[in-house]
Amino acid sequence: MAKVLVALDQGTTSSRAVVFDVSGRMLAAHGVEFPQIYPKPGWVEHNPQDILNSQITALKEAVKKSGVDVADIAAIGITNQRETTLLWDRETGECVHNAIVWQCRRTAHDVDKLVEQGWSPVIREKTGLVPDAYFSGTKLAWLLKRLNLHDRAERGELCFGTVDSFLAWHLVQGHPHVTDATNAGRTMLFNLATQDWDDELLRLMDIPRACLPQVVDSSQVIGMLDESILGRAIPVAAMAGDQHASLFGQACLQPGMVKNTYGTGCFMLMNTGDKLIASESGLLSTMAWRIGGKPTYALEGSVFMGGATIQWLRDEMKMLSTAAESEAVARSVQDTGGVYLVPAFTGLGAPWWDQYSRGALVGMTRGTGRAHVVRAALEAIAYQSADLMQAMAQDCGFVPTRLQVDGGASANAFLMQFQADIMNVPVVRPVVMETTALGAALLAGLAVGVYANAEETAKAWQQEALFQPEMEEYARKNLLDGWHKAVGRARDWAEH
Ligand code: ADP
């Protein structure tokens, strides 16, 4: 029997494991949800033991479901929710605190201080990031300071890690303390150009180097899976943050290739090759992956309210009974009748970066009905993504030839067609929508020689649907003008 690859996909609300054959076909998957902990408004934590236990259960169940012989698993790859911060005792593995989740805003004031002190351009230049509480750096600094652990960290008694690192330490024989370059790139401590932790930023946030993991490639054998888990030692051969794994799983291997994942939010990444592009449009620079010691970079933009806009129509506005119903409802009208929904519920990200924007529904008349609003909500997801694409095109100096899509809301054919129309760029959807897990599996397969090179892994990608742009130029321009006018109405709304 052919060998198989397994991906561990440790997400924000659940841990999943997916078994693939070497052609990229999904053989089995299993997911285990775990509790979210909200100690205060705006704070989010996970119990580290929940992360670990759910991931191990998912792995065992997925392998059992697939019916494959454990001896046929060629390698395991890890992909993970990014930026979530853990700190544990190097001797016992015991965490000193719950994991501080990426969404957690507890260090917002610490970040404000860094910005007031004028550190933004330095942080942006070195890490590619816009200073924010979202990234791991200030979360780790908070733990060291609040728990009074600086001296222990300095003596090397503690290990910091993002979820990839935490899983590797606990699942791999010999407890390697490692993280991959894509995850390191989300800490606000990692210098993208030198590919090393940045001493100036470590000093700034008062973080001892001794607690930081060694940064490894995204595709590299880091050790063997602890035998007690599946009864056999298997190479753990890849680690990559979820969006980076998905870019790889979408086979966006050449500079200029772009993917957009339509989940709760949308995450758009463009491969920029060996060029580290400093965005002038408010996008983040980040790692695509690091293979054979060679960094490949990416531009990243995100939409805060993607599929969540549809969730809101369903749960709060009661306009839909299921998210999927939005497609038929949107198609029941010719157009939105001039209505625009700007879902700036939590502010707007790139290219606007306005945290004071709020949701707006504009252009309504006496004839406006539910279907117009539902259609406007789907179109809003596409407009926001189109704005990101436009920003990427500006930063890199050319318009990408296509957009590759995945995630729950990419199942919506109306949304995908409107996306192609409004960008005037074809949209393609792959057969395997689990691109994050697929990417981790392919990166692992590459490390153990299942694939001779990265290009070989691209054969696992197959097109399922193609949406060609069909809209007339004048109609496109009118709609985009209307959208940007609506965004203008939503901006700078909340009290500062
Ligand atoms: P996440 O991984 O962020 O939880 P998923 O990739 O599972 O998200 O996608 C779920 C999101 O996509 C939800 O916000 C849901 O409202 C939206 N969604 C799912 N199916 C559809 C659909 N057919 N049309 C529009 N939105 C959808």
Res. 329: pLDDT tops 50:
yes
Least confident of 57-61, 111-115, 156-160, 346-350: 346-350
Res. 2: pLDDT tops 70:
no
Res. 482: pLDDT tops 60:
yes
**Among the listed residues 398, 376, 378, the one whose alpha carbon sits nearest the alpha carbon of residue 389:** 398
Return the pLDDT at 68.
Answer: 96
Nearest atom of ligand 1 to the alpha carbon of 307: 14
pLDDT-based confidence at 356, cuts 50/70/90? confident
> Mean pLDDT, to the nearest integer, of 42-63?
96
Are 414 and 312 contacting, i.e. CB atoms less than 8 angstroms apart? no
Least confident of 103-117, 156-170, 196-210, 283-297: 103-117
Query: Which of 412, 435, 436 has most ligand 1 atoms within 8 Å of CB, for mutation?
Result: 412
Largest CA distance in the chain: 69
User: Residue with structure tokens 């990419």?
Assistant: 410
Angle formed at CA 293 by CA 448 and CA 22, multiple of 5 degrees: 25
The reported pTM is: 0.93
Cα 480 to Cα 487: distance, rounded to the nearest angstrom: 10
Q: What residue owns the CA closest to ligand 1's atom 18? A: 409
Paired sense of beta strands 4-10 and 45-46, if any: unpaired
Return the pLDDT at 42.
Answer: 83
Is there an atom of ligand 1 within 6 Å of 328 CB? no
Is there an atom of ligand 1 within 6 Å of 323 CB? yes
Res. 1: pLDDT tops 50:
no
Is there an atom of ligand 1 within 6 Å of 261 CB? no
Q: What residue owns the CA closest to ligand 1's atom 17? A: 307
Return the pLDDT at 139.
Answer: 96
Q: What residue owns the CA closest to ligand 1's atom 9? A: 408
Ligand 1 centre distance from Cα of residue 402 (Å): 22
Calculate the average pLDDT of the chain. 95
Burial class (CB in 10 A: 0-12, 13-18, 19+), 469: middle
Is there an atom of ligand 1 within 6 Å of 411 CB? yes
Return the pLDDT at 350.
Answer: 84
Nearest atom of ligand 1 to the alpha carbon of 310: 16
Res. 61: pLDDT tops 60:
yes
Nearest atom of ligand 1 to the alpha carbon of 378: 25
Ligand 1 centre distance from Cα of residue 235 (Å): 33
* Amino acid at site 489: R
